[in-house]
Amino acid sequence: GVTGMEEILARVVAPLPTYETRDKSPPPPESNSLDFMHFYKSLDKEDRLSFLTKLSQDFGVDHKSVSELAVKLLDTQLRDLATILQVEDRLRYNLTPRYKQLLNHISRVEGGVKFLVDLRADVLEIISSKASESPHIKDLNGTLKSLLSEWFSVGLLRLERITWQSPCEILQKISQYEAVHPVRNWTDLKRRVGPYRRCYAFTHAAMPGEPLVVLHVALTEDISDNIQSIVREFATLHSEEDVNKINAAIFYSISSTQAGLQGVELGNYLIKRVVRELQSEFPHMAQFSSLSPIPGFSSWLQGLLSQYRKEGRGSDLLSEQEWREVEQATDSPSGTLAVDALRKLIGTSEWLRSERLSRVLEPVLMRLCAWYLYGEKRRGYALNPVANFHLQNGATMWRLNWHADTSPRGVANSCGIMVNYRYFLSETSKNSALYLQSKVVVASEQVLGLVSQFQKNSKL
């Protein structure tokens, strides 16, 4: 109950020691942290919300002492620098939320770091579900994120290669965490860690046996344009005897496993770390690229078509010739609006099996997809989350691939199209800065060509 919450908070969230005694006060008993963790875990979702609201509101920054110190700092502007630095340090110290010390103490007990990762996952869920709009909860998230970013910095992470000889419990987790191309069975899993494949994970000493982020790589002759050739059933090759068949590394799946570590950028660090690992194993390897899904393209396209239809601008999206071909190919009853015929057509996956329909739709869907990835933005950044991820890493939007994922899911999500985000190693830091600061998307001639075809057709 509420009193229980107030009682435990008052007892375990020690007041901030005074500035003078800040380094002298003994740490509170470990039992405080354990009691807090135990109590929190016993709460249901609703009680956790009110508990975290109390924690962040009543045990955060002492705003009164901060404002007094801010005034004092203003008064000292004319004083000598040493005094100013002293008052600034005092102000900095008083800006520490009271609960931050508790979080630090929790990180030092067994299972404490994992507890805080899961606690931040709860806080992120509260924020994203808008269960609370409290600025204190956002502050708590900021404090947790900055602590976790320190503890999970790349120097403290361990790169682990997962093979068929790895412990079952790790292989089981790799299979369970695979978010992009679900693992079907043992044979499938065995192939993904077998010849011409690599599977790497970052782990952390504070969370033993827990892969934090997992990257699946295919070693190929050149950059793959199709996912079935990577994850489809085929006899596992005996061994990697043919090294000069290995010139490229294809990142075909990456998944972070801890919701509470969102924003800590583990995926980006893992890709860069794995590139270095592969370069030392295959010194001649020069091609590094993803083969990425395009989640959201089909639904975006359906929305675009219905919007154009409402505005009577359906014809803008395709050329006269293309509309005629769509109408002939779908032998849609006369009078049906061509744009409706097209919506119905791409609403199912039959068109993929028809050679004629595929030929008609390829130029149309490829240029629409290029615009979706390159032109559609959210707050200036790529609307598509996977594009945004790789562009933040400094990858180049390099090649759109037709019939790249012919699985039902691939056709339903992105009309079977996939994209290579290519990592030109000497360009990634420049491209990343360009994208993050000036929102410039670096793309290849193929992509830019498709985009300009879209713009010509749609007079956008």
Ligand X SMILES: CC(C)(COP(=O)(O)OP(=O)(O)O)[C@@H](O)C(=O)NCCC(N)=O
Among 266, 345, 370, 441, binds ligand X (CB under 6 A): 266
Q: H-helix or E-strand containing 160?
A: strand 157-161
Burial of 393 (0-12, 13-18, 19+ CB in 10 A): buried
For residue 159, give the nearest of 186, 198, 123, 133 by alpha carbon.
198
According to the binding rule CB under 6 A, does residue 264 interact with ligand X?
yes
Can residue 386 be called a binding residue for ligand X (CB under 6 A)?
Answer: yes
- As annotated, the active-site residues are 292, 390
Pairwise CA distance, residues 385 & 379, whole Å: 12
When CB distances to ligand X are compared, the closest residue is: 267
β-bridge mates for residue 157, sequence order: 204
56, 107, 224, 256: which one binds ligand X (CB under 6 A): 256
Distance between CA atoms of residues 77 and 233, nearest Å = 72
Query: Smallest distance, Å, CB 336 to ligand X?
Result: 37
Which span sits near ligand X by CB under 6 A: 33-41, 103-111, 230-238, 252-260? 252-260
- In whole angstroms, give the CA distance from residue 354 to residue 328: 13
Binding marks (x or -) toward ligand X, 175..214, rule CB under 6 A?
----xx--------------------------------x-
Q: Collapsing DSSP states into helix, strand and coil, what is residue 313?
A: coil
Q: Do 286 and 247 touch, CB atoms closer than 8 A?
A: yes
Residue 412 Cβ vs ligand X, minimum distance, rounded to whole Å: 16
Site membership for ligand X, residue 289 (CB under 6 A): no
Number of residues that bind ligand X (CB under 6 A): 15
- Please, what is the minimum distance in Å from the beta carbon of residue 297 to ligand X? 14
Smallest distance, ligand X to C-beta of residue 245, A? 27
> Considering beta carbons, is residue 111 or 263 the nearer one to ligand X?
263
Residues listed for the chain: 460
| CA–CA distance, 71 with 269 (Å, rounded to integer) | 42
Q: Which stretch binds ligand X (CB under 6 A): 4-12, 192-200, 257-265, 309-317?
A: 257-265
Residue list 387-416, contact with ligand X (CB under 6 A) = 389
- Based on the shown chain and the rule CB under 6 A, indicate whether residue 263 belongs to the binding site for ligand X: yes
Instruction: Report the C-alpha gap between 375 and 451 in whole angstroms.
Output: 8
Contacts of 79 (CB under 8 A, 6+ apart): none
Contact 250, 220 (CB under 8 A): yes
Q: Does 268 bind ligand X (CB under 6 A)?
A: yes
For position 97 contacting ligand X by CB under 6 A, the verdict is: no
Residues near ligand X, by CB under 6 A: 179-180, 213, 254-256, 262-268, 386, 389
